[in-house]
Amino acid sequence: MKIYYREKSGGIEILRCFGIEGRVEIPGMIDDKLVISAAPYAFSSHMDEKEDLKNASLWEVSDGLEFGREEHVLAGNDVEEIVFPYTLKEIGRYIFYGCGNLKKLEFSDSLMQIGCGAFTGCHALEKLTVHMEQGKKSGVKEMLGEMWQRIDVNFLYEYEEARLVFPEHYDEAVENTPARILYTEYHGSGSNYRQCFYDKELNYQEYDRLFEMAVAMDKLEVLVDMSFGRLEFPYELTGKARENYREYIRKNLGDIAEYLVKQEDMHRLEVISSQKLWTLGGIDSALDCASKRKETEVSAFLMNERANLVDNTAGSERIDVDKLQNSQEADRTEQGKNEQSQTTEKSLNTRTILRKKRFEL
């Protein structure tokens, strides 16, 4: 891999990368100096290399992949994933302009300065991984503000992790022909979710509060990823928000279970079990879908879960019957005691009356 760079403010600025693979991992140090920024158009095919690489220095390292293969510029559609070092603080304007195949970007919370138009044309970008090393602030809000599509964001804290989904959002002009009026229709809740940042820090309570809006505006697969992501990685998840996500899964279990079977997502089917969310209706829908698709492993798992659910339900019913019987037995015992007490009291009263009569005689 080859990297063209220049010194900037006591650190290193990345200008251009050459390599074999579509995954680019930038080192944290070059020539014993920290890599602190990436130049404008650094990964764009629209850079004027003859002009912008004048007087640039070259850093080169062998990764064993070059043998028999020619290195090429890692820019435009040839870039699929980029990993920035923890030392990087700034990316220049239009740095990813036209990177139509860029899907993943990894960086740390040191990256706070985002150049304008940085993500122009990055329609395939789907995931951001952020290493939170210094606190709770990051440059994610500015990045999300430039993209309309769904973006999954993983925040990696020191001991915990949060996996969030920021849905897509777009608007379109719709004509009311008879009235000759144009009005705007808004789609997706993504615009609201992108406003959950305050002073570069994500407010998790606000994020969770918007789930009701997402249920009304977004697709099933988005809602599944949002709810399961928060339940599995409950960073700053309140008890109320947790129950809201559980209730959504419980109410829509049939559709969700069928979707997970079609996706062959055994992990999340197991999460439903661990969260104790199965109902007979939901598990029967999933079984029917798995049977039609001839998913033997999934079917075996679901049949086992159904048997456990039936056993637990029957056990609960037996416990309720036992409680009822014990209660009735206790009532009968208490009633017997009361009757015995009343009989004893009547006997004592009778004896007292007889004694009084004898005394009078």
Residue 63 lies in a domain: yes
The per-residue pLDDT for 321 is: 43
Beta bridge partners of 201: 137, 198
In a domain, 186, yes or no: no
pLDDT score at 51: 86
Is residue 269 one of the residues assigned to a domain?
no
Q: What number of other Cβ atoms are within 10 A of residue 127's Cβ?
A: 14
Domain extent, residue 62, equals 1-125
Q: Is the pLDDT of residue 327 over 90?
A: no
Q: How many domains does the chain have?
A: 1
> Is 29 among the domain residues?
yes
User: What gap in Å lies between CA 350 and CA 345, rounded to an integer?
Assistant: 9
- Taking all residues of the chain, what is their mean pLDDT, rounded to a whole number? 88
Task: Answer whether residue 12 is part of any domain.
Answer: yes
Sole residue written with tokens 């080169």: 60
Task: Say if 261 falls within a structural domain.
Answer: no
Question: Is residue 271 assigned to a domain?
Answer: no
Higher pLDDT, 291 or 318: 291
Q: What pLDDT was estimated at residue 347?
A: 59
Query: What pLDDT, on a 0 to 100 scale, did the predictor assign at position 313?
Result: 78
Residue 56, token pair as written in the block: 């640039």
Q: Which pLDDT band, with edges at 50, 70 and 90, does 37 fall under?
A: very high
3-state secondary structure 202-239: ECHHHHHHCHHHHHHHCCHHHHHHHHHHHHHCCCCCCH
| Claim: this prediction has a pTM higher than 0.75 | yes
Residue 61, pLDDT > 90, answer: no
What is the Cα–Cα distance from 13 to 3, expressed in whole angstroms? 10
Give 262's pLDDT tier (boundaries 50, 70, 90). very high
Looking at the chain, the whole-number percentage of residues with pLDDT higher than 90 is 73
- Return the CATH number at 34: 3.80.10.10
Q: Has residue 314 got a pLDDT over 90?
A: no
Whether residue 15 is contained in a domain is answered as: yes
Alpha carbon of residue 231 to chain centroid: 8
